[in-house]
Structure 1
Amino acid sequence: MTDASGARRSGTSIAVVPEAAPELVAAVERAGGVVGPLDERTRGIVWSASSGGDDLAEVLRRAPGVEWVQLPWAGVDGFADVLAAVRGDGRTWTSGKGVYSRPVAEHALTLTLAALRRLPRRARAVEWRRDESSRSLFGADVVVIGAGGITAALLRLLVPFGARVSVVRRRAGDLEGAARTVTTDRLVEVAAGAGVLIVAAALTDETRGLVDADVLAALAPGAVVVNVGRGPIIDTDALVTALASGHLGGAGLDVTDPEPLPVGHPLWSAPDCLITPHVADALATTPALLAERVEHNVRAFLGEGEFDGVIDLDAGY
């Protein structure tokens, strides 16, 4: 962004909506922005709700002069309709991409270890019963779907275990810390014989249903599946079947399809399935992490540096 753009935007109004979250208001002001009500003077929007695509579309209609919009989370599938409608309109859209990488990677590791050690089954036990069914992460063949910030953080966490990690991504290109990096068309190939499959990708048309019955069947008997990306990336019916058959040794899911997972769904009663209610990034520090991103991007909007977490409207994340 040029200095001229920054000078022109200096003093322009940024609206924090639909709720004026205090930590986000403070972040805008720390960066030198002016927080104001939503009106014809609004040039930037910090969206403070985790969803509400229809509401955001209405806000944009009321404030046609908006040049930049900050969304709160890394995943933007909840705003897919409004993002599709504004493609090519010249606005800059940014997300929380990368903001929550470390806590989500930590949660992915937690679910992986829990599933490998059969903790879901053991936590439900009401009698003392020993078995030798646990598996180790040390030296395991691990497949990770997605090559964003979560995967980068997870690769660092996996180093002490000496795991051989294959990363599956949309575009060709190596990723530091991965033994190999392949494109999504080779997923079944790299899943063959793997002991751990971790989903850490965004939900797009390409990734929806990517982990299907063929992928699950390719995994080693007793393998575990972890999802900290988005629920619909895994075919839920195929996952239920693989768990019930005993082919999978377990699953750790922070996201599901459908979500919220209804009472009585077979995944709740699967003895080797651990479900957390989409809380991988729900920490006491989460608001502060988002505030840091907002502060950085307000400065960029005012002409100081580059935006972080820019959304590729064509790719959908």
Structure 2
Amino acid sequence: MSGRLRVVIASPLSRELVELLARDERLEIVWEPELLTDPEIDWMVGPKQRTPEEQARFEQLLDSADALFGVPDQSGRALGRTVRANSRLRWVHTIPAGGGQQVRAAKLDDGDLERVLFTTSAGVHAEPLAEFAVFGVLAGVKRLPWLLGMQRAKQWGPREPLGALTETTVLVVGLGAIGRLTAAHLTSLGCHVVGVHRREVDAEVERIVPVEQFADAASTADAIVLALPGTDQTRGMLSAEVLAAIKPGATVVNVGRGTTVDEPALIEALQDGRVGLAVLDVTATEPLPADSPLWELPNVLLAPHTAAISPHEPRRIAELFAENARRLLDGEPLLNVVNTREFY
């Protein structure tokens, strides 16, 4: 592709980062911040409440774009409307690493999926999520629920042993960018790391076992880290069958998607002690319903889907978009292209 690329900013972005994108003179940046939510609050927040006139103006801009920075209002329905209405649209960059699910929710036909390239921000969130995964494993090894329980009861002792990372086997399920970095960090700390993945990849693990052997591998693991995308293939992958086979007292950490867990089965395993601790950045339904037992269980640590957030996240996503824009204009392959069969 050559010439200029008309980019409409469809997700909240600061002026500084808009100016970063505009450094490439081949990009015509269209940014009307009054039509978007405040990026200082949360740029992944839901749709801005617009007047009918403002909504019409917003859609007019979307329908004039060659490329979109972000999915409009983080809505699959809005994305579907835009793709179908705008025949000149060639590329949409989704803000989340799991943006393939937004593309899926757009319910586009094969022609539209062929015409428009979709990319995600995969990799941008790998470091903070890998650190959170390590934190979760450490919380299990060092018996955080027990320590907190003793502290809250103002009980000094009894003195009991805590675990050691060098004696810990961790199963990392999903060896994408997040899983590979998690495995590398855990390996460097002395853990015995085993990967679960659909195919052989280059990762710092002792071995990789196929998905079909997940339950067998779980029976020998002290901790399981889920770093999976949300697809039909991964739905409920931490299943009742796997949880029935799990090593008693094991830690479960999820930095992928909540849909990859059979949540009722996990709750049951937490209640009967098969799972000693669950450290969850994601849940099957978000926000987590007020009546979920996960809120009250003493062996659960919840993060409200915040583990990926860092002060540098918006800048890194903007830099990724700028690099992909350059690639598109220079006729090079784009980074993080969505698989439109499995939507990850």
Q: Give the TM-score normalised by structure 1.
A: 0.90
Residues paired across the two proteins, number = 309
The 3-state SS of whatever aligns with 2:167 is coil
Alpha carbons 1:98, 1:149 under 8 Å: kept: yes
Structure 1 unaligned blocks of 5 or more:
none
Distance change in 2, residues 1:121/1:289 (3 Å):
farther
Bigger mean CA offset, 112-121 vs 263-272: 112-121
Counterpart CA distance in 2 for 1:152 and 1:241 is 30
TM-superposition CA deviations, 1:39-73 (whole Å, max 9, x none): 65421111166721111222223322111110011
Distance 1:229 1:202 in 2: 6
Matching of residues 267-286 of structure 1 within 5 Å: 267-286=294-313
Deviations along 1:5-47, one digit per CA (max 9) or x if unpaired, are 2x2xx22311111545435523431233111372654211111
3-state SS of 2:114 partner: coil
Q: Percent identity?
A: 30
Match of 1:35 among 5, 22, 29: 29
User: Is 1:189 aligned to residue 216 of structure 2?
Assistant: yes
Which residue number in structure 2 is paired with residue 62 of structure 1?
A: 85
Aligned partner of 1:246 in structure 2 is 273
1:89 counterpart (114, 123, 129): 114
Within 2, Cα distance between the matches of 1:121 and 1:304?
Answer: 56
1:1-317 to 2 correspondences below 5 Å: 5=1, 7=2, 10-19=3-12, 21-32=14-25, 33-36=27-30, 38=61, 41-47=64-70, 51-76=74-99, 77-82=101-106, 85=109, 88-123=113-148, 125-131=152-158, 132=160, 134-170=162-198, 172-303=199-330, 305-317=332-344
Which one-letter code corresponds to 2:255 in the other structure?
V
Moved more, 50-59 or 33-42: 33-42
Structure 1 residues 100 and 253 mapped into 2: Cα distance closer, same or farther (>3 Å)?
same
SS at match of 2:22: helix
Amino acid in structure 1 at the alignment position of 2:74 = S
Tell me, yes or no, if the aligned pair for 1:116 and 1:250 is still in contact at 8 Å.
no
Taking the aligned partners of 2:64 and 2:11, their CA distance within structure 1 comes to 17
Unaligned runs of 5+ in 2: 32-60
1:50 and 1:73 in contact (8 A); partners too: no
Q: Is the 8 A contact 1:115 1:273 kept in 2?
A: no
TM-score by length of 2: 0.83
